[in-house]
Amino acid sequence: MILKQLTTFGALITTAVAWLPWTDKGVVSRNGTNLFASSGGKIRGVNLGSQFVFEPWIAMQAWSAIGCKDEKSEYDCVAKLGQDAANKAFARHWKSWITRNDIDEIRRYGLNTIRIPVGYWMMEELVRPGTEFFPQGGIDYLARICEWASEAGLYIIIDLHGAPGAQVPKNAFTGQYAEKPWFYVDHEYKRALRFLDWMTTIVHTNESFRNVGMLEVVNEPVQNADETTSLRSSYYPDAFRTIRGVERKLKVHRKDYLHIQMMDKLWGSGDPHEHLTDDYYAAYDNHRYIKWDANVRVSKDNYISTSCRDRVGSNWPLLVGEWSLGVPEDIQETPDWKPFSNKDFYKKWFAAQVMAYEKQQGWVFWTWKTQLGEFRWSYRDGVAAGVIPTDLNSVFEEDVCR
Ligand SMILES: *[C@@H]1O[C@H](CO)[C@@H](O)[C@H](O)[C@H]1NC(C)=O
Ligand SMILES: *[C@@H]1O[C@H](CO)[C@@H](O)[C@H](O)[C@H]1NC(C)=O
């Protein structure tokens, strides 16, 4: 197993891109522990889903506690509650959903990375008063989490998950339930660029953000290359100019630049690299939910063998920034697929996915915790159920893909 990992790692060193968090960024905990040593430099992480961008299906009880049981998104929720009441309700959620204990538990489980989805509305002056409704005050809670995570030695990816105007229609992950994806126009790109400028400044000037190494400039754009031409020709190159401009102004050393992350070509929004003239510290993301891949025949054996030989990236370096153990809705509660009576399958499938994604730069599971009462979308529950090992290297020793 050690040989195999070293071989993979050896192959990485020969590529032109210097990139690994443990070689370039020197990400360490307060007491100097480097969590990447045991993973051979691979990213092993979890998303903090529903912390700053609430998706009600993940946590219906918490959503009800905020007072928005029947609302579809944060936008609808804040419009209903009113600004002041919403600010108070969301502050209670931010304080309780992800705590210092969660961060410590993440580290204890052998993980080294968190990806934090945020919305553009965290920069409050971007929100149009009277027509856009979002909770205020999130940045202080983001700083708290980043401080805890930096103390613990975790690598941090901040992800612009909810873009101005919404990058996809009718999906709470954008923060709103928009009829149309209104993001793909100049004036919305400008707002997103102001967000990137603001966030880059914070990351490089505020000590609590010291372990943030990557900024994803937009999560999951529309999967249609024709609808996203200006994303590639204008937004991505401008995102580089904006972020690097801030860094030059702040005299940040090139080695400490942020990695700028875009969705991989395989995601389906075209090749993000198409118009980049500067790709220093570029990084790519793909999300792999086999349950939504109509080309994959639904059987347990096929899920495992598909994962074992899965090709998940075309740009480099790439990490699989979201994936889960979710299976198609029409079968998920049938005897063959119910989670607790099929743990052996889910354990193997978890292992197969880890092996595939570590052929790339690594992975970030969706998500850390849920209120679904089962483990297929919850890393924490997966560990509790014995489906996910805390010694992640054991996956390579057992080698379900053999
Ligand atoms: C650093 O802290 C972690 C977690 O508390 C602990 O496991 C590790 O042994 C410590 N390392 C050193 C060098 O003290
Ligand atoms: C870092 O940012 C947070 C959030 O704005 C703020 O509360 C904190 O005081 C800042 N810390 C420093 C050292 O500037």
Residue with the larger pLDDT of the pair 86 and 13: 86
Q: Return the SS3 of 263.
A: strand
- If you average pLDDT over residues 162-183, what whole number do you get? 98
The verdict on residue 86 lying in a domain is no
β-bridge mates for residue 318, sequence order: 284
The verdict on residue 156 lying in a domain is yes
DSSP symbol at 176: B
Q: Nearest ligand, CA of residue 154?
A: 1
Q: What is the pLDDT of residues 20-44, one digit of tens each?
A: 676 666 788 999 999 999 999 999 9
What are the angstrom distances between the C-alpha of 54 and each of 165, 172, 237?
17, 7, 29
Return the structure tokens found at 62.
């918490």
Determine the pLDDT at residue 85: 98
* Number of neighbours of residue 114 by Cβ within 10 angstroms: 28
Determine the pLDDT at residue 26: 74
Residue 152 CA: which ligand 1 atom is closest? 4
pLDDT band of residue 4 (cuts 50, 70, 90) is very low
Determine the pLDDT at residue 204: 96
Given a cut of 90, whether residue 354 has pLDDT beyond it is yes
What are the angstrom distances between the C-alpha of 156 and each of 57, 149, 258, 259?
25, 8, 11, 11
DSSP symbol at 258: P
When the pLDDT of each residue in the chain is averaged and rounded to a whole number, the result is: 94
Q: Is 220 a catalytic site residue?
A: yes
Given a cut of 70, whether residue 126 has pLDDT beyond it is yes
Given a cut of 70, whether residue 13 has pLDDT beyond it is no
β-bridge mates for residue 159, sequence order: 117, 216
- If you average pLDDT over residues 332-352, what whole number do you get? 98
* Number of neighbours of residue 124 by Cβ within 10 angstroms: 14
Given a cut of 80, whether residue 3 has pLDDT beyond it is no
Contact partners, residue 64, CB within 8 Å, separation at least 6 = none
The verdict on residue 176 lying in a domain is no
> Sign of the C-alpha dihedral, residues 163, 165, 168, 172?
positive
3-state secondary structure 118-173: EEHHHCHHHCCCCCCCCCCCHHHHHHHHHHHHHHHCCEEEEEEEECCCCCCCCEHH
DSSP symbol at 257: P
- From the candidates 55, 220, 247, 358, give the one annotated as an active-site residue: 220
Q: Which of 118, 208, 210 to mutate to test the pocket of ligand 2 (most atoms within 8 A of CB)?
A: 208
CA angle 88, 93, 97 (to 5 degrees): 165
> Sign of the C-alpha dihedral, residues 231, 233, 238, 239?
positive
CA dist., res. 318 & res. 261, Å (int):
9
Q: Give yes or no for a contact between 341 and 335, defined as CB atoms under 8 angstroms apart.
A: yes
Q: What is the pLDDT of residues 189-228, one digit of tens each?
A: 999 999 999 999 999 999 999 999 999 999 999 999 999 9
Ligand 1 pocket (Cβ < 6 Å) reads 29, 31-33
Residue among 294, 33, 302, 301 nearest 155 (CA): 33
The verdict on residue 63 lying in a domain is no
Residue 107 CA: which ligand 1 atom is closest? 4
State the virtual CA torsion across 92, 94, 100, 102 in degrees, nearest 10.
110
Cβ of 206 below 6 Å from ligand 2: yes
The verdict on residue 55 lying in a domain is no
The verdict on residue 59 lying in a domain is no
CA atoms within 13 A on the CB side of 120: 28
- If you average pLDDT over residues 318-333, what whole number do you get? 98
The verdict on residue 266 lying in a domain is yes
Instruction: Give the H/E segment covering residue 262.
Output: strand 259-263
Q: What is the pLDDT of residues 232-260, one digit of tens each?
A: 999 999 999 999 999 999 999 998 999 99
Q: Which residue has the tokens 């930096």?
A: 150
Return the structure tokens found at 316.
């480099």
Cβ of 140 below 6 Å from ligand 2: yes
> Which range (7-16, 85-94, 177-186, 295-304) has the least confidence?
7-16
CA dist., res. 103 & res. 101, Å (int):
5
Q: Give yes or no for a contact between 395 and 133, defined as CB atoms under 8 angstroms apart.
A: no
CA dist., res. 171 & res. 167, Å (int):
9
CATH number at residue 323: 3.20.20.80
The verdict on residue 83 lying in a domain is no
Q: What is the pLDDT of residues 47-77, one digit of tens each?
A: 999 999 999 999 999 999 999 999 999 999 9
**Domain total in the chain:** 1
Determine the pLDDT at residue 241: 98
Rg (CA), the chain: 20
Give the range of the structural domain holding residue 210, as residue numbers without chain letter: 2-49+98-169+185-398
Q: Is 322 a catalytic site residue?
A: yes
CA angle 81, 202, 132 (to 5 degrees): 25
